[in-house]
A and B are shown apart, each in its own frame.
Chain A
Amino acid sequence: MAEANSIRVRLVTPDKIFIDGTADSVSLPSSSGYFEVLYGHAPLLAELGAGEVTLHGGDVGDQQFFVAWGFVEVLPDRVTILAESAVRPNEINVADARQQLQYGQQLWNEAGEESRRYAEANRVIHEAEQRIASAEGAGQST
């Protein structure tokens, strides 16, 4: 293990353990807004929405990952992230994201009176927008 005040971070996807390392702090996109975790954080369980997981000052420097849906367990010395999918922002397929955005808008238009379908459409749109924003942040031309 590294020095005392670093936390162990693991990002696990259905296919494999994506990263297993340490960091000074981690910022996470909870489904109700971003939050940051430092060493000694109180135990917490949270659902992650679409957004970027950022590791600051890790053993391999700063790292960013885009996750679409996830779940995180925070313990004082450890952060474990379960993510349905994780990619580095510069590997995001922008064309796909745009398509997803269109599909979301189409869902939104067709939703009619049902609130559940609106929620689903909004989720798809939000995810697509986050994805595009994340790709742009990484310097990808759109």
Chain B
Amino acid sequence: MANVLDLRRRIRSVKNTRQITKAMKMVSAAKLRRAQERAFAARPYARMLASVLDSLVRRVDIYEPETGEDKHPLLAVRPEKHATVVVVTGDKGFAGAFNTNVLKAAHRFLNDRADVELDLEIVGRKGRDILRRSYATASIAEDRELEHGTAPRTRKARIEIVGEHAGMFEHLTFEKAAHLAHTLVERYIAQETDAVYLVFNEFQSVMTQRVVVDRILPIKEVGKQDIASAIEMEQEEREEMAKAARSSGVSLETEDTREADEEASKFGTAQVDYIYEQPPRQLLDGLLPRYVATELYHAMLESVAAEHAARMTAMDSATNNASDMIDAYTLTMNRVRQAAITKEIIEIVSGAAAL
């Protein structure tokens, strides 16, 4: 058996580790709280945009007299031959199964659509590192962004990575999300892709999270998610999450937002005839791409919150494990020490008896 000195060293080392995981847990909890607030503050805008768009789409017949096409290109549904998948992962590890879960959902989705050509847009360093191993990177000319609809590029494989956005979460702004959304919208309008899916970790509260595949283009119904598949959290995970949140002082309840939400959803929907300053078609042109950007931004904010929640939980169980380990080692150490003392006493006693 190991001697007392070795055990004491081991205990000291585990204690140090516990201190680190505990600190990381508290940091994640603080970041989670901030991320939650941000996601919450971003809601009025998203709601208002969705409701005004919804009422605009419903009130106005948008058709082009010459082509007879009755819809905005972003509302048009085409048969799905080519789809773009945006995978939102985190930039950092140490967050339990957070990245794995998103990637698992993404893999499953990609394998389910065996007859569709798929392009991947990857957000987050972790996702990039892992997906790069299994999929080829598309060869895209430098100035391709400007030359939509010219020649279709030659594909190396059915699934290709077309864009990587690592380090986006270091300082997440709406502009960054809007930029990516702009690229997606352009591609959709140029008919290079027939659908855009978003794989991300949805975060409603600490207790309500799931990994979803959400179709953001074409826009089927404004203000509603178009969920292609979802993986709910397991009961066990949920309990762990709740325990970690409680021990680090993060409230489990989401703030009551119903009143504010209701207010926001009235935007642009009053029962009056609005004067449209610009032609409705022009309003739609401005609003629809922004709606896509808002959805993307929102998904990213939620993903950030979920990542912090996952890290907090992972660090909480790491801290608990470290405590258990220290207890076990302390017990062994005491036993070993006692054994040594007993052995010495026996030696003395038997030595005395031999006299």
Contacts and interface: CB of A to CB of B under 8 A. Distances in A.
The finding on whether chains A and B are genuine partners in a shared complex, rather than unrelated, reads yes
Interface of A: 12-17, 30-32, 35, 42-47, 69, 71, 73, 75, 80, 82, 84-85, 117
Contacts of B270: 43, 75
B236 interface: no
B45 A32 contact: no
B38 A73 contact: no
Contacts of A73: 52, 267-268, 274
Interface stretch (B218-226, B275-283, B326-334): B275-283
B286 A71 contact: yes
A15 to B, nearest CB: 6
Contacts of A13: 45, 174
Contact of B41 (A15, A46, A82): A15
Interface majority SS on B: helix, strand, loop or mixed? helix
Given A43-B270, A84-B178, A32 B48 contact: no
Given A43-B275, A44-B276, A46-B276, 15 more contacts: A13-B174, A14-B297, A15-B42, A32-B278, A35-B277, A42-B275, A43-B270, A44-B275, A45-B52, A45-B276, A69-B286, A69-B290, A73-B52, A73-B268, A75-B270
A80 B51 CA distance: 13
Nearest to B173: A15
B174 A15 contact: yes
A17 B41 contact: yes
A3 to B, nearest CB: 23
A47 B276 CA distance: 9
Contacts of B44: 12, 17
A35 B267 CA distance: 20
Residue of B45, B174, B178, B290 with most chain A CB atoms under a 10 A cut-off: B45
A85 B49 contact: no
B268 A16 contact: no
Contacts of B290: 69, 84
19 contacts: A13-B174, A14-B45, A14-B294, A14-B297, A16-B41, A16-B42, A30-B278, A31-B278, A45-B52, A45-B56, A45-B268, A45-B276, A45-B277, A46-B276, A47-B277, A47-B282, A69-B286, A73-B274, A80-B48
A21 B48 CA distance: 18
Interface of B: 38, 41-42, 44-46, 48-49, 52, 56, 146, 174-175, 178, 267-268, 270, 272-278, 282-283, 286-287, 290, 294, 297
B42 A14 contact: yes
Nearest to A30: B277
Given A14-B45, A15-B174, A85-B174, A71 B274 contact: no
Nearest to A14: B174
B38 A15 contact: yes
Contact of B267 (A14, A46, A80, A85): A80
Contacts of B46: 14
A32 B268 CA distance: 20
A43 B275 CA distance: 6
A45 B274 CA distance: 6
Contacts of A42: 275
Contacts of B174: 13-15, 84-85
A47 B273 CA distance: 17
Contacts of A82: 45, 48-49, 52, 267
Contacts of B45: 12-15, 82
A82 B174 CA distance: 14
Contacts of A117: 146
Nearest to A112: B146
